[in-house]
Structure 1
Amino acid sequence: MNNILSYLKNKHLIWQGKALHEPGEGGLSGYPELDAELEGGLPGQGVIDVHSDIGIGELRLFLPYLLNRQEQQQRLLVIIAPPLLINGEMLAQMGIDLSLVLLISPDDQQQALWAAEQCLKSDCCHTVLSWLQNLEIHQIKRLQLAAKQSNAVQFIFRSQLTQGLSLPVTLAMSLSAQPKGLEVKINKRIGSWVHRNIHVNMQPHWPALQLTESHNNHNNVIPFPKRHAS
């Protein structure tokens, strides 16, 4: 039995429930409620699997964390195969140095995977963002190894229902839209197995994107001015 457990652990197919994060491993997300649930913040290395619909604020959620990593490390932020155009003005306004941002547009997912692994192996990147769909365990293991060797983080954004396979990632979460931000469900995290859904309030970072209370009602009928017929 011990040999079987050791084999599964070495293959990263099981996690130890009592495993602890290494000191200084994580980084603050910019949202106290999320940092509290993650016991200090997002991982400082490894693969983060994000299940989310497109365009609900999934990238904005991680911008404070990415800004903090750029300020600390002065390495590249790489964006691979985004499904929508990336707003450079928004990144600059947030404080991201655009001279340290690399955008890659591969022809297919195989090229996207290859580009992500090469960027991680180069030791020139602090974070790689990739939009991918169906993935295999061996592909995630290669990205994990490359990320840990270069002390980098690989984000993988996937749609909600693309795959039911549990992958050996450092952190897995699902996002859903809420009136003032996002609801975050932690699906997997090394060192923990009991999680709750977190309501992340994004209003402090982007107040202009939120409706005021006076406009936040169910009456969406706009009255038109009356005009007498001549």
Structure 2
Amino acid sequence: MSRAEFKSTTGRRMPMVAAVLVVVALAGVAVFAAGRASTPERQVIARYVERVQAGVPVGFPGTPRGGGDAAAAYTQALASAGTRSATSRQAMVDLIAAEGAGSAVHPLVGPAAHGETISQTVVARVWVPDADLDAVVPEDREVSVRMLVCTLSGATTSSPADPNAGLAGGWYVQSATVRWSQARWRLVTAERPVPVPPPDQRGARRDGGPRDMQPLVDVLSSRSWAPGTV
């Protein structure tokens, strides 16, 4: 075969290969985009937000569950407010309470500390009766919250031989109302806590009488949760 009869095809083949590669790449992008479009968006549940302002946790989501966590955090913060100065204590109340509700939430403010004392309130469980816990709460809507709290107090300077030495306190159901306002939960009211049997008591009270089990029905239900855990 003479050189005149030989015709190189390299120049034609390269543009053709490049075109095929471009088509394959575009097809891959289209398939990927179609797959992403057909995949349902993953639902992200708002979780406890750890932000502190003036010693008070804030940033809870605008859901009944977020309102429950906020009420628990506010209850514990106010219980320890007795160790603060009067100015700092009032600033905390102003931050937590809704407008005009300062006096209504004062029952949650812990007593002023005198000497070497211990005073602490711990919220063990929270529940919001008759509410969709993850529903979005409209502006200025209120949510009723109930909490199982343990309150302890005692003096650290007492002698072990003192019959009055040690920790005093008990278990209570604390009811409170919070309002979703301007992207924040604010405390509206706080009722007087109701004593409940301690968790290690079963069957009867210490005096042998029957226990009121109704408060524990809500505490032990599947709708209650430890604050800040969900």
TM-score range, shorter chain: under 0.3
Taking CA–CA contacts closer than 8 Å with sequence separation of 6 or more, which of the two structures ends up with the larger relative contact order? 1
TM-score (normalizing by structure 1): 0.23
TM-score (normalizing by structure 2): 0.23
